[in-house]
Amino acid sequence: MKKIIVVLFCITVFYAIKNPEEQILIPEDSIRFRVIANSDSKEDQDKKMEIKEAVDKEINKLMLQANNIEEARILIQNSMSDIEKVINNYQVNYKMNFGKNYFPEKEYKGITYQEGNYESLVITLGSGLGKNWWCVMFPPLCLLEAEENQLDDIEYKSFVKTMVNKYLE
């Protein structure tokens, strides 16, 4: 009996240590937000982040009002002119599209987000040849950005799961 307990203990420890990367998927009923910089120059990347911050504030207010994806879509569509006004404050050429858009694969805090065409709001600055920033605006995972420096990988994964599950119920 002792041998069985020791073997079971060893197996448990092995799996606890091994702990393969947990796959956390963004639900199909989600909406992403992406800002693509004009180029990779410091000036263009800084401008991308300024615009991202300003638009993100507007979007976060909207998404906190949405109880489901249908409400989120309506809120975004009804707020496109408000979002344009925010971007126009920066006097840059841009294109904005709300619909199906391509996203490259992204790995963040040990979570891999697959490439593909996703429902999203994409803002392309100038030529759109620079690095991009993106997050999931519904369920409102963009809110993690504000707290990201305070979250370790385990807390991040747990928070993502909690937010995804909240909006899937």
Residue with the larger pLDDT of the pair 87 and 109: 87
Residues 14-23 have pLDDT tens digits of 444 444 444 5
2: pLDDT confidence band, cut at 50, 70 and 90? Answer: low
H helix or E strand, kind and range, residue 27: none
Buried b / exposed e along 123-158 (16+ C-beta atoms within 10 A): bbbbebebebbbbbbbbbbbbbeeeeeeeeeeebbe
Query: How far apart (Å, rounded) are the C-alpha atoms in residues 122 and 159?
Result: 25
Residues 134-166 have pLDDT tens digits of 888 888 877 544 444 444 444 444 545 555 565
Residues 79-97 have pLDDT tens digits of 999 999 999 999 999 999 9
Residue with the larger pLDDT of the pair 13 and 51: 51
- Residues 83/159, Cβ–Cβ less than 8 Å: no
pLDDT of residue 160: 54
Query: How far apart (Å, rounded) are the C-alpha atoms in residues 165 and 140?
Result: 12
Query: How far apart (Å, rounded) are the C-alpha atoms in residues 97 and 99?
Result: 6
Domain ranges for the chain, please list them: 2-168
Pairing type for strands 116-125 and 31-36 reads parallel
Q: What residue type is assigned to position 39 of the chain?
A: S
In order of 34, 97, 99, 154, the CA distances from 125 in angstroms are 11, 12, 17, 34
39: pLDDT confidence band, cut at 50, 70 and 90? Answer: very high
The number of CA neighbours under 13 Å toward the Cβ of 165 is 7
Residues 127-136 have pLDDT tens digits of 999 999 988 8
pLDDT of residue 148: 41
Residues 46-74 have pLDDT tens digits of 999 999 999 999 998 888 899 999 999 99
- Residues 94/87, Cβ–Cβ less than 8 Å: yes
- With vertex at residue 122, the alpha carbon angle to CA 47 and CA 35, rounded to the nearest 5 degrees, is 25
pLDDT of residue 92: 96
